[in-house]
Structure 1
Amino acid sequence: MPQRIEVIDVSDWLVDDTHGIFPIGARDKQMLWSPAKAIPGIKSNWPYLFKCSRSAYPDQFWMECIAYLIGIELGFDVPKALPAKLLDFEGEVVCAALIEWFYDPKTQTFAHAADFFQNLISDFDNDKGTKHNLADLKKICQEFDWLVGIEQNWESWLKQLLIFDTLIGNTDRHQENWGIIFNPGLRSRVTLSPFFDNGTSLGHERFPAKVANWTEARLEKYIMSGEHHLRLYNNDPKKRLNHIESIRMIVKESEQNKAFVQRIMQTDFAAMLAKLEYLCEIELEIPLSKQRLDWISRLLLCRHKLICELLTS
């Protein structure tokens, strides 16, 4: 796990000329450029997204930070996300997640998966993404791998994505929350994006006081109802792929896949969560409460248990 993270004050950072207010997604966000001076844990002269919470869930930005720390611990490619604040024009402190931009806009380009689904499916609805599906995701990756070569093993990337989103309970990996980075300097080779935009996860929509007394059975029922944004097939637009069932599908596919999942599940999740306890001590206008972290810990440990049960059934 990375060194202890701290709050970054971005009040004096430059707002990006093109994307001062970033247009994609449901939550308010701004693109900022870090200063040239050295700041621990921050790239100099690099774009960062200052991403706020939904007003109904003020501490939601913490989910981005915690998902980053969990992802890095598991060896997944997740953009750095740090707690941050700025002083707005009215003198109010605004808290958000500061997310490191995952490609160099000066030398690389990025295309959302939506672009490829729209080319593949003539009536693809980008607003709802009802035809965003696993079969065509695989087809898109296969085509790019055959034509120009994908930098990483796309099948391993996909398994990691499904495992990560299942563990954190991410329901929002839609067609604009993953995509392909084009690297002109690498003989047209492309790279699949890291796992960005993880705020709709970790039970963010549940208020800790209302779930503190949930039994294990109630907790499992909540987890078992969780779904990916993806469907299995284009012709099954109403049924999303269940989180836990997606892992069952991976495990049943081959012994190699089962071993792949087992290696990840061998992580000591309790120890990993213990490393996050200091986050509750970070002083910020919207802090991470101990009750919130306890709820996140219960969810993660229960999901880990359910996946391990799949491996022994």
Structure 2
Amino acid sequence: MIRRPPDQKETYEFSPIFDNGTSLGYENAEKQLVALCDTNHLDAYIGRGSHHCSWTVADDQRAPHIELCAHYLKTHPDARSAMQDVLRFEPTDIETICAECTQFPVGVPFTPERAYFVSRLVLARRARLVALLEGTHGKLD
């Protein structure tokens, strides 16, 4: 990643290509999870999230995921089909996978509440991407 703050020298660093867990809400305490599952809280949580990079070298601000996807789609419209393929799964599959994760006997259990929260996060993000790819998210500018 190249950073170029205004009136300063460029700096270079690696940008993580992994998900370190923050997008799945690991920082939220168990007692908060039920309240965070309503649509308004989920939308706010997702809206605060951003990548470790931006679209252009000149922009040093972290970009939201949907914004980067919109830029990518605008720049590479032929990628639409591949992007849609990534989203071709049944929502119940995510719910089932998350619920199954509660069955592993580990030191820090993946509780049913966390499974529900994570599945809601994934499905809310999926809905945003589907809307973008179907052209109902807004303009790609």
Q: SS of 2:40's equivalent? A: helix
Q: SS of 2:23's equivalent? A: coil
Residue 267 of structure 1 corresponds to which residue in structure 2? Answer: 89
Q: CA contact under 8 A between 2:80 and 2:133: conserved in structure 1?
A: yes
TM-score (norm 2): 0.75
Q: CA contact under 8 A between 2:42 and 2:121: conserved in structure 1?
A: yes
CA distance in 2, matches of 1:277, 1:308: 24
Structure 1 position 217 matched with structure 2 position 40 = yes
> CA, structure 1 residues 209+263, in 2 after alignment: closer, same or farther (shift >3 Å)?
same
Q: SS of 2:63's equivalent? A: strand
Total equivalences in the alignment: 129
Q: CA contact under 8 A between 2:102 and 2:110: conserved in structure 1?
A: yes
Residue 279 of structure 1 corresponds to which residue in structure 2? Answer: 101
Residue 289 of structure 1 corresponds to which residue in structure 2? Answer: 111
Q: CA contact under 8 A between 2:98 and 2:119: conserved in structure 1?
A: no
Q: CA contact under 8 A between 1:280 and 1:290: conserved in structure 2?
A: yes
Note the C-alpha offset of 1:228: 0.2
In the alignment, residue 302 of structure 1 is paired with which amino acid?
A
CA distance in 1, matches of 2:47, 2:58: 24
> CA, structure 1 residues 204+255, in 2 after alignment: closer, same or farther (shift >3 Å)?
same
Q: CA contact under 8 A between 2:87 and 2:130: conserved in structure 1?
A: yes
TM-score (norm 1): 0.37
Q: SS of 2:51's equivalent? A: strand
Greater RCO structure (CA 8 Å; 6+ sep): 2
Note the C-alpha offset of 1:270: 2.4
The structure whose residues are more often helix, as a share, is 2
Structure number with larger C-alpha Rg: 1
Q: SS of 1:262's equivalent? A: helix
Q: Name structure 1 gaps, 5 residues minimum.
A: 1-113, 125-130, 133-174, 179-194
CA distance in 2, matches of 1:254, 1:200: 28
Residue 312 of structure 1 corresponds to which residue in structure 2? Answer: 134
In the alignment, residue 16 of structure 2 is paired with which amino acid?
N
Residue 25 of structure 2 corresponds to which residue in structure 1? Answer: 203
Residue 241 of structure 1 corresponds to which residue in structure 2? Answer: 63
Residue 250 of structure 1 corresponds to which residue in structure 2? Answer: 72
CA distance in 2, matches of 1:290, 1:274: 11
The structure whose residues are more often strand, as a share, is 1
> CA, structure 1 residues 218+278, in 2 after alignment: closer, same or farther (shift >3 Å)?
closer
1:226 to 49, 74, 95: 49
Residue 177 of structure 1 corresponds to which residue in structure 2? Answer: 16
Cα RMSD, aligned residues only: 2.5
Q: CA contact under 8 A between 1:270 and 1:301: conserved in structure 2?
A: no
In the alignment, residue 88 of structure 2 is paired with which amino acid?
Q
Q: CA contact under 8 A between 1:250 and 1:258: conserved in structure 2?
A: no
CA distance in 1, matches of 2:70, 2:93: 25
Q: Name structure 2 gaps, 5 residues minimum.
A: 3-8, 136-141
Q: SS of 2:52's equivalent? A: strand
Note the C-alpha offset of 1:123: 4.7
Q: CA contact under 8 A between 2:23 and 2:49: conserved in structure 1?
A: no
In the alignment, residue 77 of structure 2 is paired with which amino acid?
E
